[in-house]
């Protein structure tokens, strides 16, 4: 396997993949997602929805990060 095709050489490449394209996106959100989403929901004064899929939780996290200012790298 060459360096260009080895996914370990690009550890963040999946982080930029659209959640709608995730093959496991319709599975229940992970424990880590649930925990972080609960925190963000509380900070934003929003209701926490524990029924979201992985993909929907990811999109909700992105939205709440925008609103709360969390996750900013600048």
Please, are residues 48 and 38 in contact by the beta-carbon 8 Å criterion?
A: yes
Residue 70's pLDDT band (boundaries 50, 70, 90)?
confident
28: left (phi over 0), alpha (psi -120 to 50) or beta: beta
Is 15's pLDDT higher than 60?
no
Average pLDDT over residues 13-37: 85
Q: Is the pLDDT of residue 69 over 70?
A: yes
Q: Is the pTM of this model over 0.75?
A: no
Compute the mean pLDDT over every residue in the chain, rounded to the nearest whole number: 83
Q: Please report the pLDDT score of residue 61 as a whole number.
A: 96
Beta-carbon-side half-sphere exposure of residue 54 (alpha carbons within 13 Å): 15
Q: Which residue has the higher pLDDT, 73 or 26?
A: 26
């Amino acid at each position: 396997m060459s360096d260009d095709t080895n996914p370990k050489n690009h550890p963040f490449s999946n982080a930029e993949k659209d959640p709608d394209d995730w093959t496991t996106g319709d599975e229940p959100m992970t424990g880590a997602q649930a925990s972080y989403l609960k925190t963000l929901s509380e900070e934003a004064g929003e209701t926490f929805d524990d029924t979201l899929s992985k993909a929907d939780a990811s999109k909700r996290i992105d939205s709440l990060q925008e609103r709360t200012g969390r996750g900013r790298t600048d």
